[in-house]
Structure 1
C-alpha cells in the first residue's frame, strides 16, 4: 500500500512539475547571468519551492480554509503573475536588466528575486504542484511514514529540477545570443498561454 502511494506521488509530482518543461523557462529568466549566478538561482529556487510545498503538505489546507482562499483563486492569481512575466519577455522590456546581468554589477538581491519569483513561485511551487501536494498529503491520512515518503518524493523531484536547470546553461551556450533572444520571445508566448490556461482552470473550477 505504501509503495503504491509513493509511486503515485512520484508520478504525480513529476508530471505536475515537469522538470524538462521548466528548463527553457530557466534559460529565458537567467539570460545573461554568469554560470555561478545561474547555479545560485537554481539552488535557491529549488530550496524555496521545496519549503513551500512542504509547508502546504503539512498545513496548507487548514491555512487556506482559515483565510478563505480557494484553489481556483490561487490558480487565477498564479496565472496573472505568469502573464506579467510573459508580457515582459515578449516585448523585451527586460533588455536593460539583461545588460546589467551580463556585467559584474549584478546584485545578490536580483539573484534572490529571480529565484523566488517567478521561478520558485509560481512556476515550481504553483497552483498545480501545491494542489497535488495537498491532495497527496490528504491521501496519507495522517500516516507519518507516508508523509515522510511524500517529502522524500518532493525532494527527489526538486533535485531533478535543479539538475535540469544546471544543464540548461549548456543549451544556452549552444544557442548563442540570437538563439537566446528568439527563444526568450517564444517562451514569452508559451508562458502567456500557460498563464491564460491557469486563469481558465481557476474560473472553471469556481463553485465546484
Structure 2
C-alpha cells in the first residue's frame, strides 16, 4: 500500500512540475503553421524523450550524485529550493527562468530539433523534474522501487502526449485565463512538495533537529 501511495504522490508531484497544460501555448507557437501530421509526430517525440530522460534520472541519478560526492540530503535541499522557485514562478503565472535562460532560448531557436530542445528539454524534463525523480528514487529504496517509478513517469508522459495532440482544442476551450489558473494551482501543489523535499534534506543534514 505504501508503494502505491508513493507512486500516486510521485505522479501528482511530477505532473505539477512538468505542467503539460502550461506548455500548450509554447507548443502551439513553436509549431505554428505546421501540418497536423508534423504536429502529431512532434507530440510523439516529446513524450518519448521526456520518458527516457526522467527514467534515466530515476535509475542512474543517485549513482551520478555519488560519482560527484554529493550527498542525498544536500541534493534534497538544493532540489527542493529549485522546485520551490519553479512553484513561485508558476503561482505568478510566469514561465520559470530555471527551465530556460534567454541565452538558451536564443540558441535553441536556431535549431531544427524543436521536439527535443526546447520542448522536451528543458521546458518539460527540466532541472526541477529531474531533481524530483532523483530524490524520489532515493526515497523508494529498493531496486524494484526504482523500477516502479517508470509507472508515474509513463502516466505523466501520456498526459503530455494527450495535451500536445489536443493542444489546439484545449487552448480554445481554456483560453489564456484558464491555462493561467491551471498553472497557478499546479504551482501551489508544487510548493507543498518542495517544502517536504527541503524538510527531509535538512533533517538528513542535521539529525539532531529531527529528534
Hey, what's the Cα distance between the residues in 2 that align with 1:67 and 1:41? 35
Map of 1:119 onto structure 2: 119
Matched residues in 2 for 1:115 and 1:65: separation? 31
Mapped pair 1:83 → 2:128: no
Q: CA shift at 1:65, angstroms?
A: 4.4
State how far apart, in whole Å, the 2-side matches of 1:42 and 1:82 are. 23
Q: Distance in 2 between matches of 1:39 and 1:147?
A: 31
- Alpha-carbon shift at residue 161 of structure 1 (Å): 0.8
Say whether the 8 Å CA contact 1:44–1:116 is kept in structure 2. yes
In structure 2, the CA distance between the partners of 1:171 and 1:137, relative to structure 1 (3 Å rule), is closer
- Segments of structure 1 that go 5 or more residues without pairing to the other structure are 89-93, 98-108, 176-182, 184-204
* Conservation of the 8 A alpha-carbon contact between 1:57 and 1:137: yes
Counterpart of 1:148 in structure 2 is 147
Quote the offset at 1:85 in angstroms: 5.8
| Deviation, structure 1 residue 53 | 0.6
Closer, same or farther in 2 for the Cα pair 1:67/1:31, shift >3 Å?
farther
Report the counterpart of residue 188 of structure 1 in structure 2.
Answer: none
Shift of 1:64: 4.2
Contact persistence 1:82–1:118 (CA under 8 A): no
Aligned length: 158
Is the CA contact (8 Å cut-off) linking 1:39 and 1:166 kept in structure 2?
A: yes
Superposition pairs for residues 26-37 of structure 1, below 5 Å? 26-37=27-38
Q: CA RMSD in A?
A: 3.6
Structure 2 residue ranges without an equivalent (≥5): 83-96, 177-197, 199-204, 206-211
Distance 1:164 1:128, change over 3 A: same
2:5 aligns to what?
A: 4
- Matched ranges for 1:89-108 at <5 A: none
Q: Is the 8 A contact 1:35 1:169 kept in 2?
A: no
* 81 and 19 in structure 1: CA distance in 2 versus 1, 3 angstrom threshold: closer
- How far 1:79 moved relative to its partner? 3.3
Q: Distance in 2 between matches of 1:33 and 1:65?
A: 44
Over 4 Å off, 4+ runs: 67-73, 85-88
Query: Which residue number corresponds to residue 164 of structure 1?
Result: 163
Alignment-derived partner of residue 198 in structure 1: none
TM-score by length of 2: 0.62
State whether residues 140 and 146 of structure 2, in contact with CA within 8 Å, keep that contact through their aligned partners in structure 1.
Answer: yes
